[in-house]
Amino acid sequence: MREDAPQEEPELRAVAVRAYGVRAPPGNGITERADVMGVRTWIDSWPVHRQLTGTDPLGRGAAAKSGTTARLTPRVASADRVVKSVCPYCAVGCGQNVYVEDGRVTQIEGDPDSPISRGRLCPKGSASLQLTTGAAREHDVLYRRPHGTEWERLDLDSAMDMIADRVIEARRAGWQWEVDGARTRRTLGVASLGGATLDNEENYLIKKLFTAMGAVQIENQARV
């Protein structure tokens, strides 16, 4: 491959990386110089020369293509594996292909096999990579103590233990064996809201556990 093509402006490349997630392979830095390549090769690399002498007289194809562009490969090309998934936003259920490289999700695209979506994703579905790997995600448990003014860190195990204690206490405090003489065997002390963005299996366990606790105030977006 020719190494002597004119380089794109670095700012433009940065924009491209930002806007489209385009990632060029390593070794194409701007330190490459025509003077190490010889004059003839250098002239050969000029777009106008290529346009006049090559197969692209209108200069809208190969003649205009830079070496950097020619070397670009889709980031999905180097993925270690493709995992079949489903878009997490609306209920159309578009198919997604999740590309994984070195244990990280590197790209999410529409699945052309899906008879529902035929490979398409809307702006939200197309932003799934940012949703799942973006900097806005919290990775740590946070805790706000009663009357506290700031978040504090709390480790996950302690949080789980504290929550379990509070569930037991609130459940007991809100327990009702009977209401107006009719058996209710329930608690009004604990409530839950959420589930429409969850998996069926998750909703199943939530309903099962909370029902066994005696909680009845179990709700989700399906009503909101």
Partner 1 sequence: MAECHPVGFQWVMEAKARGAKVIHVDPRFTRTSALADVHVPLRAGSDIVFLGGIINHVLQTDGYFRDYVVSYTNGPVVLREDFRDTEDLDGVFSGLDPESRSYDNGSWQYQGTEMQAASGERDQEYPKRTGGSSVTEAARGESHGSGGADLGEGEAERDETLSHPRCVFQVLKRHYARYTPEVVEEACGVPRDLFRQVCDLVTQNSGRERTTAFAYAVGWTQHTVGVQYIRAASVLQTLLGNIGRPGGGILALRGHASIQGSTDIPTLFNLLPGYIPMPHAHQRQDLDAFVRAEATRKGYWGNMRSYLVSLLKAYWGDAAVAENDFCFDYLPRLTGSHSTYETVMAQLEGTCKGYFLVGENPAVGSADAKMQRLGMAALDWLVVRDFSLIESATWWKDGPEIETGEMRTEDIGTEVFFLPAAAHTEKEGSFTNTQRLLQWHHQAVEPPGEARSDLWFTYHLGRLVREKLARSTDPMDRPLLDLTWEYPTRGEHAEPDAGAVLAEINGHDADGVPLSSYQQLEDDGSTACGCWIYCGVHADGVNQAARRTPGQEQDWVAAEWGWAWPANRRILYNRASADPQGRPWSERKALVWWDEDEGSWRGHDVPDFEADRSPGHRPPPGAKGPEGLSGIDPFIMQADGKAWLYVPSGLTDGPLPTHYEPQDSPFPNLLYGQQRNPVRHLLPPHPDNRYQPSGEEPGSEVFPYVATTYRITEHHTAGGMSRWQPYLAELQPEFFCEVSPGLAAERGLEHTGWATVVSARGVIEARVLVTDRMAPLTVQGRTLHQVGMPYHWGPNGCTTGDAANELVHMSLDPNTHIQETKAFAVDIRPGRRPRGPAALELVRAYRARAGIDERTGTEL
Q: Which parts of 91-110 interact with partner 1 (CB under 8 A)?
A: 91-96, 98, 100, 103-105, 108
User: How far is it, in rounded angstroms, from Cα 142 to Cα 86?
Assistant: 29
Q: Is 84 in the site for partner 1 (CB under 8 A)?
A: yes
Three-state SS for 63?
helix
CB of 70 to partner 1, least distance (A): 27
CB of 71 to partner 1, least distance (A): 26
Residues within window 192-211 making contact with partner 1, judged by CB under 8 A: 192-209, 211
**Among residues 49 and 208, whose Cβ is nearest to partner 1?**
208
Max alpha carbon distance in the chain (Å)?
99
CB atoms closer than 10 angstroms to residue 50: 19
Structure tokens given for 46: 């000029």
Three-state SS for 152?
strand
**Among residues 60 and 84, whose Cβ is nearest to partner 1?**
84
User: Is the CB of residue 140 less than 8 Å from the CB of residue 153?
Assistant: yes
Q: What sign does the dihedral 186-192-196-197 (CA atoms) show?
A: negative
Residues touching partner 1: how many (CB under 8 A)? 120
- Binding string to partner 1 for residues 23 to 62, with x set by CB under 8 A, is what? ----------------------------------------
User: Is the CB of residue 25 less than 8 Å from the CB of residue 71?
Assistant: yes
**Binds partner 1 (CB under 8 A): choice among 53, 69, 78, 130:** 130
**Among residues 35 and 150, whose Cβ is nearest to partner 1?**
150
CB of 63 to partner 1, least distance (A): 33
Q: Is 141 in the site for partner 1 (CB under 8 A)?
A: yes
User: How far is it, in rounded angstroms, from Cα 160 to Cα 189?
Assistant: 18
Q: 125, 134, 48: which is closest to 94 by C-alpha?
A: 125
User: Is the CB of residue 111 less than 8 Å from the CB of residue 95?
Assistant: yes
CB of 75 to partner 1, least distance (A): 15
Q: Is 20 in the site for partner 1 (CB under 8 A)?
A: no
User: How far is it, in rounded angstroms, from Cα 140 to Cα 207?
Assistant: 26
User: Is the CB of residue 218 less than 8 Å from the CB of residue 205?
Assistant: no
Q: Which stretch binds partner 1 (CB under 8 A): 6-14, 28-36, 60-68, 85-93?
A: 85-93
Q: Is 76 in the site for partner 1 (CB under 8 A)?
A: no
CB of 33 to partner 1, least distance (A): 36
**Among residues 52 and 164, whose Cβ is nearest to partner 1?**
164
